[in-house]
Amino acid sequence: MERLTINDVWSFRDILNKLTDLLDTKPEFTYARNGEVRVVVPNPTNNVYTDLASIFIYERYAQVKFRNPDKCVEHQLDLLPWMMSLNYHIWDDNKYPSGDDEFITSLMVTNTHVKFTDTEEEYFQRMTQQDNSFFTMEELRDAKLLMKRMYEYFKITPAPQEK
Query: pLDDT at position 52, please?
Result: 93
Position 71 scores a pLDDT of 85
Interior/surface letters 11-37, b for 16+ CB within 10 angstroms, e for the rest: ebeebbebbeebbeeeeeeeeeeeebb
Rounded CA gap, 110 and 51, in Å? 21
The more confident residue out of 105 and 132 is 132
Among 7-11, 81-85, 88-92, 94-98, which is the least confidently predicted range? 94-98
- Mean pLDDT for 1-13 is 75
Out of 4-8, 77-81, 130-134, 149-153, least confident range: 4-8
Q: Cα(139)–Cα(88) distance, rounded to whole angstroms?
A: 12
Res. 119 pLDDT band, cuts 50 70 90: confident
Question: Would you say residue 93 has pLDDT above 90?
Answer: no
Average pLDDT, the chain: 86
